[in-house]
Every structure is written in C-alpha cells, then in structure tokens.
Amino acid sequence: MTKRTWVAAGAAALTLGLSVTAYYVLAAGTVTTSAVCVPPTSKPEYLAAYANTVVIGTITDPARYVPDASDPNTGVAVSTLHIEKTLKGTASGSLTVAQSVARTSTGTYTTREQLYQPLTQDGRYAVAVLDTMQEGGRWVWGAEAATSPAGDDRWTAAVANAHLPEITCDDTITETTAPQ
C-alpha cells in the first residue's frame, strides 16, 4: 500500500472512532456527579466561624415575604435588624437581612434548624450574617433568640471560640439520565 492509502485509511479509522465515541457519549444520557458539602450549623461556634458578621439586635419591621417561583409556601423573608451589639465584623446601625423560610397555614414562618429561628418583628436575636446578598438583604446564616443576658453571653463566647470542625464531604451523589 502506498503512503497515501495509509493516510486515507488512518483518517477514515479516526473519523469512525470519534463518531462512534460521540454517539455513545451523547446517546448514553447525562452523568452528573456532585457533592453537597456545606459548613455545619449545629453549634453557635460553627455559625460564628463561617459568618462574616455576628450581631445582636432587634427586628424593627414586619418581614417582607418573597415567595419561591416554584413553591409559594417557601421563600425568603426580608427584615430590618437594628444592631445593638456587634460581636464580629464592622456592622452598625441597621442591616437588611434575608432568611430562607417556609410559610405555615396560619401565615407565620418556620425553619428546620434550631439555630436558624425565623426572625419576627420586635424579636431580639443573635444573628450570624454572610456578605452574600439575597432579595436586597445580607443572607442570614444563623439566628437564635437573645432575650436575656445569657443569650448575649452565649454568642459572645461562640465568637471567641469560633471554629469549624473537620468536614469530610463524603456525600457524593452520581445521577445518570436515561438515554435519549
């Protein structure tokens, strides 16, 4: 065989190989692998370590509820927090804060985490806040009622002892869609 024949045969084989590979990759569906690895929120020390700002203050107005487009029973409650004490960060005055909530049948808000209590008007809270913006407010990472000096002391100590535990991120999920 001549050199020209070898080159043509090689090009044909390469084209066929790439075409078959592309067909199998595209026809096999989509493979998605992801890990959901978020910092833990079970202790005030963890919340204080991850948050940019930790303050104690009072919610001064009713929350403005922004429903999720896909589920109107969940959404974001946006409130104004009047800051009394800044335990971490440089915040002062007032902050607009946004919090993920679920709406109950009675019109109140609820959350699933013990240290992520729904912020309500006239309530006094220790609030861990991220710099991330949502619906015009800084995102609430954690919130707990601080109705007594003991609540203030608990969060002052949490900021002083703030740390994140070792995170293993071993919750990988692989999903494959059906072939088209």
10-residue mean pLDDT series, the chain (180 residues)? 55 55 54 64 92 97 91 92 97 94 87 91 97 82 94 96 80 60
CA separation, residue 177 to residues 44, 173, 174 (Å): 40, 13, 10
pTM for this predicted structure: 0.72
Domain boundaries of the chain, sorted by first residue: 3-35, 44-160
pLDDT at 41: 84
CATH code, residues 44-160: 2.40.50.120
In whole angstroms, give the CA distance from residue 164 to residue 30: 35
CB 41, CB 25: distance < 8 Å: no
**Residues with Cβ < 8 Å from 170, sequence gap 6 or more?**
none
